[in-house]
Amino acid sequence: MPSGSEFGLANLPYGIYSDNAASAGGGPRVGVRIGDSVLDLARVLADDVFAEPSLNAFMAQGRARWSEVRAQLTDLLSTEQHRGPVEAALRPLSAVRLHLPFTPGDYVDFFGNEYHAANAGRIFRPDGEPLTPNWKHMPIGYHGRSGTIVPSGTPVPRPCGQRRGSGGPTFGPSRRLDFEAEVGFVVGADSAGPVPVGAFADHVFGVFLLNDWSARDLQAWESQPLGPFLAKSFATSVSPWVVPLEALEHAWVSPPPRDPEPLPYLADAGRQGLDLALEVRLNGHRVASPPYAGTYWTAAQMLAHMTVNGAPARTGDLFGSGTVSGPDRDQRGCLLELSWGGAEPLTLPDGSVRSFLEDGDEVTISATAPAAGGGRIGFGEVTGRIRPALG
């Protein structure tokens, strides 16, 4: 493993992989990334739960089991006496195919970053208050469509739908297609009812990257008075690696100051913000570096809010942070903000200009987090390429 790898012992993210060559045998199963290789857990740990084509069965075993397996893997990968069995269970990344890491349950997307929410408010409501009256009192979210959650690398057809027109609505392919750089969280252990802020780590298995593709013209027309529908439900891309919470020990930070103080069920329980550095590339060109640490509502508060009414949290349920943005232009996590609704088009280093995504455009989101000794751990990438509208 190369020195300074973002996928060393401090990380050990989980994913689902299969061998590229049919002759290699074995269907999709659980692996852990170490350097530029994948470790076959069913083989090296002799546990059939890792022979499943999804992380769900393992995630459902709960926090004590997650810690136990991580300790086992750390020992196996750091002790010379285990070198032979470990090497026999390793496959190079170049020889495998990566899949959706878990079977999605319910999907909720939040609107938890104040910079993004305020910018969107200024764009959509230039004569009104940037934030709605409820925004600083609760994490605002909407239920997405889990059936359209796709793994990184899956092409994204341009969606069709209704748009506002001067003489009434028109129908056709979206003309204002956008990406949203987000951080995702997946529930591992069930909860039959509310999950308090302080119980977050007992239920959430890990963290991944998420691109909540958005059709802004469809969204502007249909989100009156309810939230997004067709503008969001056509595709949501997720990264192949889920970083366990224990790998983020050095990434926890205090969230931004709260004003006003949230209601008691949303009260902060220590350092539950995350210091993640995101990067967005459009056709290979870096266009944004959003900092997740400035996100107003923490993931623990999001989970507490989405279950406080008694809704259960189930293995495989996932939720997104909402677009991650910062105070500077190059920290804005979507084209809506980067081009200010199309009024300030973005010029890429190759001379091409974008207000919104064109067919053939490829968006790649990556991220890293602090590790011990000044190192970094990686989340890999979530990538998608826009295809022409279907039909």
What's the rounded Cα separation, in Å, for the pair 316 and 55?
A: 8
Q: Which residues of 85-120 are buried (b: 16+ CB within 10 A; e: fewer)?
A: ebeebbbeeeebebbbbbbbbbbbbbbbbbbbbbbb
Closest CA to 278 of 326, 335, 341: 326
How many other C-beta atoms are found inside a 10 Å radius of the C-beta of residue 79? Answer: 10
For the chain, how many helices (H) and strands (E)? 9, 26
> Residue 354 belongs to what H/E stretch?
strand 353-354
Q: 227: buried, middle or exposed (CB in 10 Å: 19+, 13-18, 0-12)? A: middle
Residues 6+ positions from 229 with CB-CB distance below 8 Å: 222, 223
CA distances to 76, 84, 86, 87, 215 from 81, rounded to whole Å, are 8, 8, 10, 11, 54
Distance CA 277, CA 289 (A): 7
Q: Give the integer Cα–Cα distance in Å for 156 and 326.
A: 27
Phi, psi of 86 (to 5 degrees): -65, -50
DSSP assignments along 277-341, one per residue: EEEEEETTEEEE--BGGG-SS-HHHHHHHHHTTS--B-TT-EEE------SSGGG--SHHHHTTT
Asked if 332 and 341 touch (Cβ cutoff 8 Å), the reply is no
Query: Which residue has tokens 């689902």?
Result: 16
Task: Tell me how far apart the alpha carbons of residues 327 and 289 are, in angstroms, rounded to a whole number.
Answer: 11
Q: Judge whether 116 counts as a catalytic residue.
A: yes
Looking at 82, 99, 116, 305, which residue is catalytic?
116
Which residues have a Cβ under 8 Å from the Cβ of 152 and sit 6 or more positions away? 98, 237, 238, 239, 240, 380, 381, 382, 383, 384
Residues carrying an active site annotation: 116
